Amino acid sequence: MAPAPVGGPSVRLGGRTESAPDMVPEQPIHLDLARSSVDGVADACVCICTHNGQATIGGCLDALSKQHFSRQRFVVLVVDDGSTDGTAGRIRRFQRETPTVNCRVISQPRAGLSAARNAGLQHADAPIVAYIDDDAIADPAWLEGVLNAFRTFPTAGAVGGQVVVRWQSPRPTWWQDDLDEVFNRFRPADEPTTLDFPQLPYGCNFAVRRDAACRLGGFRTDLGRQNGRLLAGEETDLLLRMIQGGHQVAYWPTAIVEHLALANRVSRRYILKRAWHHGRSLARITADCPGLVRTIPALRDCVWRMIRHAPRYRFRLAHWKYWLLRFGYHYEARTLARSHTTVHPYPAPSGPLARGQS
C-alpha cells in the first residue's frame, strides 16, 4: 500500500482557520482520551466525511438544519478529504445562509474515508459522534432518535438507524430488490433492539460514543474507501471490537436517513467491483482478529454462509455479485497468508495525534 500524503489539516470555523496536528493516515491512529467530550457543550457532533461531494453535500447539510433536535445542542463537523471540486464553496454557502447551525470544517490532504472518520472523531467536541454520508438525507427526527437510543440502551457503544434508498432517476428494469444493499438499505427490525454480526449498521447512518471509540483506537485505515478502491468494513470492524469489549450496538428504527442512488453507481460494473472489494474487506477483518473470531463465532460462520450459499438463481446479477465477493475474499485471504503480516494493530490511545490538542 502506497504511503498516504502527510500534512497538517486546517480547521475552519466561520472565517477563521486554525492549524491542527500533522496526520499520517496510514499509521495506526492514536486518539486523545485526555481531551474529554465534556470540553464541549453540545450533546452530539454530526460528522460528514466528504471527497468531491459538491453535488450532494448541500442536501445533506440542509436536512441537518431541519432537525427537530435543538440547534444549540449539536454541532456539524465536515471533514473535507482533499476535495478538488466546489465542495468547500458549497459548505461556505451553507455557513453563510444558515448561521444558526454551528458548522465547522476540517480540511486535510486526501487520505481516505477511514482517516477522515478518525479526524472527525479526533476533533469532535461532544460525547456522541453521529456519522452520515454526504449523499444521505436525514429525516427531521434522525438525530433525536439517535440520542434516544443511547438513553434507552445505556451500555450501547454505538447506534444505527434505518436506511432507505432514494432513487434520483427511475429504477432500471434490470435492478432486483436484493441489490438495494449496494445503497445500504437497512431495516433489521421494526422496534428498538440490539444488533450483532452480520446485521450491523452501515457507515452512512451510525453513531458512536466518542470515548469508547477512542479507547479502541478508532477506524482501521487499511479498510474504507481510498484512491478509487472500494474497500469497506471500517465501521463493521469498530463495531465488532465494541461488542468484544462489552458494549452493545443498538438499533433505532425512527433514526432514518435516505441514501441517494447515485447514477454513477447504478451499473453492473460498479456492483461487481464493489462485491470484489467487499470480499477483500471481509478477509482483512477475519484474518487480522483471530481472537475476535473466537469471541464471535457468527463472524466466521456468516462469511462461510455468504460464500457457500450464494443466490441459487442462474444469470441473476446478485448471483455473480456473491461469486465476486467469494473470489475477493479468497484472493485477499491467500495474499495475507503469504505475507505473514498483521495488517493493522490496535494501538493504545497515545502518540503524535494526541499532542497539541486543546
pLDDT along the chain (358 residues), means of 10: 34 34 35 42 94 96 97 97 96 96 96 96 96 98 98 97 95 89 93 91 97 95 87 92 94 98 92 90 77 52 55 62 81 83 44 33
251 and 332, same domain (yes or no) = no
Task: Identify the pLDDT of residue 9.
Answer: 37
258 and 298, same domain (yes or no) = no
Query: Which of 266, 292, 310 is a domain's end point?
Result: 266
Residue showing cell 490511545: 349
pTM given for the model: 0.80
288 and 241, same domain (yes or no) = no
Answer yes or no: is 72 within a domain. yes
Can you name the residues that pair with 229 across neighbouring β-strands? 226
Query: Which of 232, 266, 300 is a domain's end point?
Result: 266
Report the alpha-carbon angle 44-46-52, nearest 5.
Answer: 165
Q: Residues 232, 223: contact at Cβ < 8 Å?
A: yes
Q: Which of 257, 243, 39 is nearest to 157 (CA)?
A: 243
Q: In Å, what is the CA distance from 282 to each residue of 23, 72, 171, 320, 333?
A: 27, 40, 29, 17, 9
Q: In Å, what is the CA distance from 72 to each residue of 67, 92, 103, 235, 243?
A: 11, 20, 11, 28, 32
Task: Identify the pLDDT of residue 347.
Answer: 39
Answer yes or no: is 326 within a domain. yes
106 and 185, same domain (yes or no) = yes
Q: Which of 37, 202, 61, 207 is nearest to 122 (CA)?
A: 37
Q: Which of 81, 82, 76 is nearest to 58 (CA)?
A: 76
Q: Which of 87, 257, 73, 28 is nearest to 159 (CA)?
A: 257
257 and 329, same domain (yes or no) = no
Query: Which of 266, 286, 303 is a domain's end point?
Result: 266
Answer yes or no: is 317 within a domain. yes
Q: What distance in Å separates the CA atoms of residue 51 and residue 64, rounded to the nearest whole number?
A: 19
Task: Identify the pLDDT of residue 295.
Answer: 52
214 and 243, same domain (yes or no) = yes
Q: Residues 175, 263: contact at Cβ < 8 Å?
A: no
218 and 272, same domain (yes or no) = no
262: three-class secondary structure by DSSP? coil
137 and 174, same domain (yes or no) = yes
Q: In Å, what is the CA distance from 60 to each residue of 47, 48, 100, 170, 234?
A: 11, 9, 16, 21, 22
311 and 324, same domain (yes or no) = yes
Q: Residues 118, 79: contact at Cβ < 8 Å?
A: no
Task: Identify the pLDDT of residue 337.
Answer: 84
Task: Identify the pLDDT of residue 294.
Answer: 56
Answer yes or no: is 348 within a domain. no
353: number of CA atoms within 13 Å, CB side? 27
Answer yes or no: is 86 within a domain. yes
Task: Identify the pLDDT of residue 53.
Answer: 96
166 and 114, same domain (yes or no) = yes
Answer yes or no: is 244 within a domain. yes
Q: How many domains does the chain have?
A: 2
Task: Identify the pLDDT of residue 299.
Answer: 47
205 and 307, same domain (yes or no) = no
Set of cell numbers at residue 22: 500533522
Domain span at 207: 10-266
CATH of the domain at 246: 3.90.550.10
Answer yes or no: is 320 within a domain. yes
Sign of the torsion angle spanned by Cα atoms 36, 19, 63, 214:
negative
Asked whether the bond before 28 is cis by omega within 30 degrees of 0, the reply is no
43 and 172, same domain (yes or no) = yes
Q: What distance in Å separates the CA atoms of residue 144 and residue 167, rounded to the nearest whole number?
A: 25
Answer yes or no: is 153 within a domain. yes
Task: Identify the pLDDT of residue 11.
Answer: 35
Task: Identify the pLDDT of residue 244.
Answer: 87
Beta strands in 59-132 (DSSP E): 74-81, 103-108, 128-132
